[in-house]
A and B are shown apart, each in its own frame.
Chain A
Amino acid sequence: KAGVTQTPRYLIKTRGQQVTLSCSPISGHRSVSWYQQTPGQGLQFLFEYFSETQRNKGNFPGRFSGRQFSNSRSEMNVSTLELGDSALYLCASSLAPGAPTEAFFGQGTRLTVV
């Protein structure tokens, strides 16, 4: 069974640009969550999608957005990139909210903003 797939693995963008990251969950998983990891702030929850609807949102500015498609694949978008957005962005999939099931993480997308 394939794991969580994130693309691209590495990305370099310029300040002010926007970026879209993609996440394909494990087959059968319908919940996708996104996290940002930086050396200073650690792992922080961005948002969660289930059935194409955002269920939970972390404390990030509106420049960070996401969506989920009918096949459960998810994308997150960051607009007007800032140097501080340089981070490892991780996606996790789980069966569905409401059950104490584990979340499985992808390998992440390393974003560098220059």
Chain B
Amino acid sequence: DAKTTQPPSMDCAEGRAANLPCNHSTISGNEYVYWYRQIHSQGPQYIIHGLKNNETNEMASLIITEDRKSSTLILPHATLRDTAVYYCIVRVRNQGGKLIFGQGTELSVKP
């Protein structure tokens, strides 16, 4: 079973920041937080991952709370092309390619 809880859907206005929350209250010390997204009928796309520090890349920022029980993915300037299902996943580093997907959050970016 997925170890994360995400809201099923969210809306965001184009050009605004999209903040997608994820709860992972049972996360272990050696588990990383990963974010993927899936645009309709395509393969999931890796976005970002982190252990305990906040992370930023060209796509997004990941904010992990100090107790690591929750995190937020931030898309700073959402565009219509960011409309997708966003998955938050926790996994240990030696779990290889095994990802346990939950239901994710369906983000709709509206003009």
Bound complex: CA of A99 vs CA of B32, how far in Å? 11
Chain B residues within 8 Å of chain A by Cβ, number: 24
Contacts A42-B103, A100-B49: A90 and B44 contacting too (C-beta < 8 A)?
yes
Residue A66 lies at the interface, judged by CB distance under 8 Å to chain B: no
B81 close to chain A: CB less than 8 A? no
Using CB atoms, name the residue of chain A closest to B103: A42
Interface size class of A (residues with CB under 8 A): 20 to 34
Docked-complex contact B97 and A31, CB < 8 angstroms: yes
A-B contact pairs, 27 of them (CB 8 A): A4-B43, A33-B99, A35-B101, A42-B102, A42-B103, A43-B99, A45-B98, A48-B96, A50-B96, A50-B97, A90-B43, A92-B44, A92-B97, A93-B97, A94-B96, A97-B96, A98-B93, A98-B94, A99-B93, A102-B46, A104-B46, A105-B45, A106-B43, A107-B43, A108-B41, A108-B42, A110-B41
Q: Which of B38, B45, B97, B103 has the most CB of A within 10 A?
A: B97
Binding site for A on B (CB under 8 A): 32, 34, 38, 41-46, 49, 51, 87, 93-104
B59 to chain A, nearest CB (A): 12
Q: Is the CB–CB distance between A55 and B96 below 8 Å?
A: yes
Contacting B at CB under 8 A, from A59-114, are 88, 90, 92-94, 96-100, 102-108, 110
CB distance A108 to B43 under 8 Å?
Answer: yes
Q: A21 in the interface, Cβ–Cβ < 8 Å?
A: no
- Let me know if B97 and A42 touch, CB within 8 A: no
Residues of B within 8 A of A56 (CB): 95-98
A103 and B46 contacting across the interface, CB-CB below 8 Å: yes
* Chain A residues within 8 Å of B, Cβ to Cβ: 4, 31-33, 35, 42-45, 48, 50, 55-56, 58, 88, 90, 92-94, 96-100, 102-108, 110
- Nearest-neighbour CB distance to chain A for B9, whole angstroms, equals 15
CB pair B95–A97 under 8 Å, yes or no, is yes
Measured in the bound complex, the distance between the Cα atoms of B40 and A108 in whole Å is: 12
CB-CB under 8 A from B103, the residues of chain A are 42
Which of A44, A88, A103, A106 meets B97, CB within 8 Å? A103
